[in-house]
Structure 1
């Protein structure tokens, strides 16, 4: 070993890792979308204090926030096939699904969606509650339904409030997807492990991975800052 760090090897590894970025971004984007849907549903349940569902939502949020994401990933990856197989044998449900050939990406998206739903529910709830209550009353006074109030009055304003927290969650999710190689998905982290094992140059390859993640997060941060500035301009014009 004549040198601590091989810069040339690290640079050569970056182009080899880039094609696998698609798996990382696919899991991130789809999970974020489903997580927003789950989070919005949980937020509405809490805001309107729907009795039974509210208790279930509280347990769900508490469990997700109190357990590591990796544990949740394993629970879904190893647990879902057992549940599907049980329902197939016991009740004849999901007979067209071959449990043994379900792509691991599906489990990763489900796990991340469940995780994000819990965290985003608090972001969405606090953003909705930040909207001036007088606007609810004004909308009610002109005969708007609760759905119309939520879609046309509340959500556009709540979105502006939520953008910073949503952006932070998105950036965190990009980094958290580095765990998906643990269930056999070859993303940039999984490919880095493969390349590192071939050349026994783990230090260089993980530096290359960190640079890619860093670059992606910088781009996202710049885009989110621009979006936030534009939304603030819109907010001032509305006021």
Structure 2
């Protein structure tokens, strides 16, 4: 009788596949931090309509949301070295770790999505908040930083959390750039033994466990943020 699962093999493969966890988490955190900065900048550019730059921001968002992430990874993986070679910025492109190109691709991708989330959250804050800030002598940057953005971020937290979870799962595509994250390690070990099903089940369970922990952490942040907002209102 054919055995569906080789349980012992699955258990033995966990340490090897788990080696990719730090890589997956590093991609997630780096891309999310830089993506959030990009997203905020693009959101403000679109809200305040800076001549010339706003059109570029709209084009950027449209391109990143309208093309597959896997294509964007390939563009970064092959395009950035080509650009560096043309500009003579880096003499030995092969010495640059592939994960840096992955950081760029994921940061730009999540930045486009977060820009829309942040833009809608900022616009949902009552205009009277700005007027109140101006009435007490605040500048626009001060009003944004101290009054508007805290409220906007609180409202956007659920969507931001969803983007973080999606980003974590999307890191499984980094293996196409030879980055040994969770899926990359899974493919390596599966290629050696041809026991693909067991290995991918283990990878799926690892992703699931990490996502559950992230969801718990994000829900705690959301709860504390809303509690703080309720006390301040």
TM value normalised by structure 1: 0.95
Helix, strand or coil for the counterpart of 1:51?
coil
What does residue 199 of structure 1 align with?
Answer: 193
1:213 has 2:207 as partner = yes
Aligned residues between the structures: 233
Aligned residues of 2:47 and 2:119 also touching (Cα < 8 A): yes
What does residue 92 of structure 2 align with?
Answer: 98
Show structure 1 runs of 5+ residues with no match: 89-93
What does residue 129 of structure 2 align with?
Answer: 135
What does residue 51 of structure 2 align with?
Answer: 51
Distance 1:80 1:229 in 2: 41
Give the superposition deviation at 1:98: 2.3
What does residue 64 of structure 1 align with?
Answer: 64
Distance 2:228 2:50 in 1: 33
Runs of 4+ in 1 over 4 A off after TM superposition: none
TM value normalised by structure 2: 0.97
Deviations 1:49-102 (A, max 9, x none): 1121111111111111110000000011101111111111xxxxx25x521211
Give the superposition deviation at 1:15: 2.1
Deviations 1:122-172 (A, max 9, x none): 011111111121110010111101111111111111110111111100100
Distance 1:207 1:232 in 2: 37
What does residue 122 of structure 1 align with?
Answer: 116
Show structure 2 runs of 5+ residues with no match: none
* Residue in structure 2 matching 1:152, options 146, 152, 155: 146
CA RMSD of aligned residues (A): 1.1
